[in-house]
A and B are shown apart, each in its own frame.
Chain A
Amino acid sequence: MRPEDRERIQLEVVSRVLERHVSAARQGPGARQGAEVLETLVSDTLYHERRRLERDTPAPGELALYADIARRLPKASESELVRMIEALLARFVEEVVGNFDERVYRVSTSVVPAGLSLLLKAAGAESARDLLSVRRRTASVRDHIDVSGEVEHVRSLVDQGTLVVVPTHSSHLDSIVLGYTAHLLGLPPLLYGAGLNLFKSPLVSYFMNHLGAYRVDRKKTAALYKEVLKEYATVALELGYHNLFFPGGTRSRSGAVERHLKKGLLGTGLTAYINNLKQGRPKPRVFIVPCTISYDLVLEAETLIDDYLREVGKSRYIIEDDEFSRPRRVLNFFNEIATLEGKIAVTFGRPLDVVGNLVDGQGQSLDPRGRVVDTASYVALGRGVGGSAPEHEPQRDQQYTEELAAAVVRELRRVNVVMSTHVVAEVLMKLLGEANPGMDRYRLLRTGGGAPSFPHGLVVSRVGELLAAIREAGAPLVAGEMLGATPLQVVDDALRHFKSFHTRPVAERRGDRIFHEDRNLLLYYSNRLSGYELKRREAVPEAIRQEGG
């Protein structure tokens, strides 16, 4: 972030949020009522902050500030209340922006890949000497990240407006991978909100600080704080900073592609667009870029699926004790990538406008029949043909964001890439279900049912059928390395990954049978294929090829 913008953004966020509350309070029935509204806001914020501090370590000055406000609150006049809210906002914004070093941020694009390469080298190195040897590892990160999809399209939009990249989320490594991808594509850095816990992890805070990360404390539950985060993202977009939001809000616990998106953050694109139009900014457009990130193996898979199964729907929103916080596991993970030639597939979907239309290379909105539409017409409010001025309209804008969310979900599903591990896990889960008809899923996962293994040949032929069904359906996409592979090779590849990184092998071949070992992980990896209506098809005998592209 440019130094002059940093201060501007802070002031802008504080004044906008403050203005919103003050004018809402003044629109109330009477002056007294107005003051009450503000007082409620202050005490609500204090309440949530104090509850958080019962468990959380206070930041310097935090306790003093809250104590002071609490003491003055009962007798505070309206203008004092306004100043209190301002103080709270200033504190929140300060923390969000963090002690971000602009100079470092500017060189981030070269620092991140270097760091990633180093990580890969360190992972593969068996000794310090290896680490220094250039020849030991020739593989660069580039060889492990497979970028595909609407890359040129996305690149062409950089000059037409501001991007909001909305990827699937399965690992904390996602942001690093995308930071690097942006570098590969020659895109400007992406600004994004990262949980405070990521900054605490020694290995990864390095990357966080060098990517465009701002701090999000998910333990802060006060509405005012969340408002600050949203406004921060909005103002940053208006200033032309490309953003990265994980639209699911958190890492997918089940392993499936996100189906329910967080509308609050997603809607900031529309808000920023309308503000841009109102202020007559030269490039007002905001583009939403869906993107999927697929891994052969997911670093945090064990913790995530465990959390998912613990009680579906009641999973922990914040996990601080996962694989990501254990440097050794992170290193092992990179080792796995390096030695098994693991791939990370980053696939860009078709970019959308703020109401969910596709856009062309010039950033113009297209209707479903490909006709150019004036994007601004959607936000024109008022009477008369052609509407009048661009304006916010909360009820309408909320519906627009719902439509955008649906379009993003559709696009994510369309460009979801499945790896050999997902395909083989899906087949094994299906076989398990068939071998234990009517058995409760949790019991099946726990006990494994009556069939501890399946014939290798059967698994291979079912993989062939599944790949044929995927090909026929046209979605999900199949990872590049599977395109020319036979079902046998796909099974071998998956089994190699399955025994390499996780605490115990997910599934394993012994003789001519395949044993399922960690069924929770099988469920996790198979979920990447959930929601696609794939019918069983006869396998095509020759190698699986994807048509069209």
Chain B
Amino acid sequence: MMSDEALRVGVIGAGSWGTTLAKISAERGHETRLWARREELAAQLREARENVDYLPGVSLPDSLQVTHDLAEVVRQSELLVLVVPSHALRLVARCVGDTARGEQCLIHATKGLERGTHKRMSEILREETCLRKIGVLAGPNLAAELARGEPTGTLIASRYEEVRRRGHAAFSNGYFRVYWGSDVVGAEVGGAFKNIIALAAGVLSGLGLGENARALLLTRGLGEMAELGTAMGADLTTFGGMAGVGDLVATSSSPLSRNFQVGTRLARGERLEPIQAEMKMVAEGVNTSLAVMEFARARRLTLPIVSAVHRLLHEGGDVPTLLQELMAIPTGQEFRRSS
């Protein structure tokens, strides 16, 4: 019943993914507002009906309202969709908290863990707002492909059925297949962790290695994802789904993925700082590897791929060493848990 009615949706964050989600929601006939942090960007989106910076060549529906006024977006929405870089999430959430109300639903699509605290995005949202009905959207979702209407699927995970239903109503369409579940931790860990593996996959690709090598990396990477996720309280099965293997495969195979791009360029001998400075968008894997490494050390988890990537990015390692380390990961029994 709810899916037939128009929702008031507020998308916070006008990057490539935020713009894409706003477009889908508006096209489904929901009253959709998109918030851009920069006033010029908001004005440009309003006038050109195109996000030239982050999603060039994709025209936005006329019904999509674009604004710079965050409080207005929050006030007017039944469903909030938060799509900001992980390092900005706490601050934006605090501002959302100024006008948020208890009955509102919020779905975030931010991939990352907070440095120092190892907190997941939904934990930060709980700390900065009055909201309870919180969910996460994660899956094989390369914004550019989706904005062109190419088919894919995603997962909306929330403990609250209302969030799942509203998220489904807002986004599920003929080419975007929305599944739902209740494992918020798993969806968040999967979404955040896969960027580290994608970065390593970019390195392998940049070195000219083939599909076998990528499959080896992804498979063992999925194991580390599950190791980390279950240590944080996730349900193991989530990692076999959209937010686990689905997101991992897409992000680690596509030149469209920023994290993959960073890896490829590192393999070509470029240095991290200039790459990051040049990219318009954030490669979350760089920061996520720091937070995951901190967590792994504190909890004594063995995550050899993460360690190797961490060394490459943050401990002055180089690409040959990364490869060496990856190939030195012990073999033997494939699964530690036998069940």
**A residues near B, CB below 8 A?**
355, 357, 365, 367-369, 371, 373-381, 383-387, 393, 395-396, 399-400, 402-403
A400 in contact with B132 (CB, 8 Å): yes
Q: Could you say which residues of chain B place their CB within 8 Å of the CB of A368?
A: 126-130
A395 in contact with B160 (CB, 8 Å): yes
Q: Apart from A378-B103, A378-B132, A402-B159, what are 16 other A-B pairs with CB-CB below 8 Å?
A: A365-B130, A367-B129, A368-B127, A371-B98, A373-B130, A377-B102, A379-B103, A383-B78, A385-B75, A385-B76, A385-B77, A387-B101, A387-B103, A396-B133, A396-B160, A403-B132
Please name the 10 residue pairs, one residue from A and one from B, whose CB atoms are nearest each other, closest first: A377-B102, A378-B102, A367-B130, A387-B103, A373-B130, A377-B101, A380-B103, A395-B161, A377-B103, A399-B159
Q: Could you say which residues of chain A place their CB within 8 Å of the CB of B101?
A: 373-374, 377, 386-387
B62 interfacial contact with A, CB 8 Å: no
Closest A residue to B129 by CB, please name it: A367
Question: Nearest-CB distance from A463 to chain B (Å)?
Answer: 28
Q: Could you say which residues of chain A place their CB within 8 Å of the CB of B102?
A: 355, 373-380
B162 in contact with A396 (CB, 8 Å): yes
Q: Could you say which residues of chain A place their CB within 8 Å of the CB of B115?
A: none
Q: How far is the CA of A361 from the CA of B148 in the complex (A)?
A: 54
Q: How far is the CA of A459 from the CA of B102 in the complex (A)?
A: 51
Question: Nearest-CB distance from B94 to chain A (Å)?
Answer: 7
B97 interfacial contact with A, CB 8 Å: yes
Q: List 16 A-B contacts (CB under 8 A).
A: A355-B102, A367-B130, A368-B126, A368-B130, A371-B98, A377-B102, A378-B102, A379-B102, A383-B2, A383-B5, A383-B78, A384-B78, A395-B160, A396-B133, A396-B162, A399-B132
Q: Point out which of A355, A357, A371, A384 has the most chain B C-beta atoms below 10 A from its C-beta.
A: A371
Question: Nearest-CB distance from B89 to chain A (Å)?
Answer: 15
Q: How far is the CA of A387 from the CA of B77 in the complex (A)?
A: 11
Contact status of A367 and B97, CB under 8 A, knowing A378-B132, A383-B78, A400-B132: yes
Q: How far is the CA of A403 from the CA of B159 in the complex (A)?
A: 11
**B residues near A, CB below 8 A?**
2, 5, 8, 75-78, 94, 97-98, 100-103, 126-130, 132-133, 159-162
Closest B residue to A355 by CB, please name it: B132
Q: How far is the CA of A376 from the CA of B103 in the complex (A)?
A: 9
Q: How far is the CA of A387 from the CA of B104 in the complex (A)?
A: 8
A371 in contact with B130 (CB, 8 Å): yes
Q: How far is the CA of A387 from the CA of B98 in the complex (A)?
A: 18
Q: Could you say which residues of chain A place their CB within 8 Å of the CB of B76?
A: 385
A357 in contact with B130 (CB, 8 Å): yes
Closest A residue to B94 by CB, please name it: A369
Q: Could you say which residues of chain B place their CB within 8 Å of the CB of A377?
A: 101-103
Q: Could you say which residues of chain B place their CB within 8 Å of the CB of A376?
A: 102
Question: Nearest-CB distance from B121 to chain A (Å)?
Answer: 15
Question: Nearest-CB distance from A228 to chain B (Å)?
Answer: 28
Q: Point out which of A355, A396, A400, A403 has the most chain B C-beta atoms below 10 A from its C-beta.
A: A396
Q: Could you say which residues of chain B place their CB within 8 Å of the CB of A373?
A: 101-102, 130
Contact status of A399 and B160, CB under 8 A, knowing A373-B102, A377-B102, A387-B103: yes
Question: Nearest-CB distance from B161 to chain A (Å)?
Answer: 5
Q: Could you say which residues of chain B place their CB within 8 Å of the CB of A399?
A: 132, 159-160
Q: Could you say which residues of chain A place their CB within 8 Å of the CB of B2?
A: 383
Q: How far is the CA of A258 from the CA of B5 in the complex (A)?
A: 44
Closest A residue to B133 by CB, please name it: A396
Q: Could you say which residues of chain A place their CB within 8 Å of the CB of B103?
A: 377-381, 386-387
Q: How far is the CA of A379 from the CA of B103 in the complex (A)?
A: 7
Q: Point out which of B75, B94, B160 has the most chain A C-beta atoms below 10 A from its C-beta.
A: B160
Q: Could you say which residues of chain A place their CB within 8 Å of the CB of B127?
A: 368
Q: Could you say which residues of chain A place their CB within 8 Å of the CB of B129?
A: 367-368
Q: How far is the CA of A383 from the CA of B5 in the complex (A)?
A: 9
Tell which of B8, B132, B133 touches A385, judged by Cβ atoms closer than 8 Å.
B8
Q: How far is the CA of A232 from the CA of B35 in the complex (A)?
A: 49
Q: Could you say which residues of chain A place their CB within 8 Å of the CB of B8?
A: 385
Q: Could you say which residues of chain A place their CB within 8 Å of the CB of B133?
A: 396
Q: Could you say which residues of chain B place their CB within 8 Å of the CB of A385?
A: 8, 75-78
Q: How far is the CA of A380 from the CA of B128 in the complex (A)?
A: 21
Q: Could you say which residues of chain A place their CB within 8 Å of the CB of B162?
A: 393, 395-396
Closest B residue to A376 by CB, please name it: B102
Question: Nearest-CB distance from A385 to chain B (Å)?
Answer: 6
Closest A residue to B99 by CB, please name it: A371
Tell which of A369, A386, A403 touches B128, judged by Cβ atoms closer than 8 Å.
A369
Tell which of B78, B98, B100, B161 touches A396, judged by Cβ atoms closer than 8 Å.
B161
Question: Nearest-CB distance from A368 to chain B (Å)?
Answer: 5
Q: Could you say which residues of chain B place their CB within 8 Å of the CB of A395?
A: 160-162
Question: Nearest-CB distance from B300 to chain A (Å)?
Answer: 14
Q: How far is the CA of A399 from the CA of B131 in the complex (A)?
A: 13
Q: How far is the CA of A368 from the CA of B128 in the complex (A)?
A: 6
Question: Nearest-CB distance from B99 to chain A (Å)?
Answer: 10
Q: How far is the CA of A443 from the CA of B300 in the complex (A)?
A: 28
Question: Nearest-CB distance from B4 to chain A (Å)?
Answer: 11
Q: Could you say which residues of chain A place their CB within 8 Å of the CB of B75?
A: 385
Q: Could you say which residues of chain A place their CB within 8 Å of the CB of B98?
A: 371
Closest B residue to A388 by CB, please name it: B103
Question: Nearest-CB distance from B302 to chain A (Å)?
Answer: 22
Contact status of A371 and B97, CB under 8 A, knowing A383-B78, A396-B162, A402-B159: yes
Q: How far is the CA of A376 from the CA of B161 in the complex (A)?
A: 19
Q: How far is the CA of A376 from the CA of B130 in the complex (A)?
A: 12
Q: How far is the CA of A386 from the CA of B102 in the complex (A)?
A: 9
Closest B residue to A384 by CB, please name it: B78
Closest B residue to A382 by CB, please name it: B103
Q: Could you say which residues of chain B place their CB within 8 Å of the CB of A381?
A: 103
Closest A residue to B101 by CB, please name it: A377
Question: Nearest-CB distance from A304 to chain B (Å)?
Answer: 30
Q: Point out which of A367, A379, A380, A387 has the most chain B C-beta atoms below 10 A from its C-beta.
A: A367
B78 in contact with A369 (CB, 8 Å): no
Closest A residue to B98 by CB, please name it: A371
Q: How far is the CA of A522 from the CA of B229 in the complex (A)?
A: 36
Closest B residue to A393 by CB, please name it: B162
Q: How far is the CA of A379 from the CA of B76 in the complex (A)?
A: 18
Q: Could you say which residues of chain B place their CB within 8 Å of the CB of A384?
A: 78
Q: Could you say which residues of chain A place their CB within 8 Å of the CB of B161?
A: 395-396
Q: How far is the CA of A377 from the CA of B78 in the complex (A)?
A: 12
Q: How far is the CA of A326 from the CA of B161 in the complex (A)?
A: 51
Contact status of A369 and B159, CB under 8 A, knowing A357-B130, A380-B103, A386-B103: no
Q: Could you say which residues of chain A place their CB within 8 Å of the CB of B130?
A: 357, 365, 367-368, 371, 373
Q: How far is the CA of A378 from the CA of B103 in the complex (A)?
A: 5
Closest A residue to B103 by CB, please name it: A387
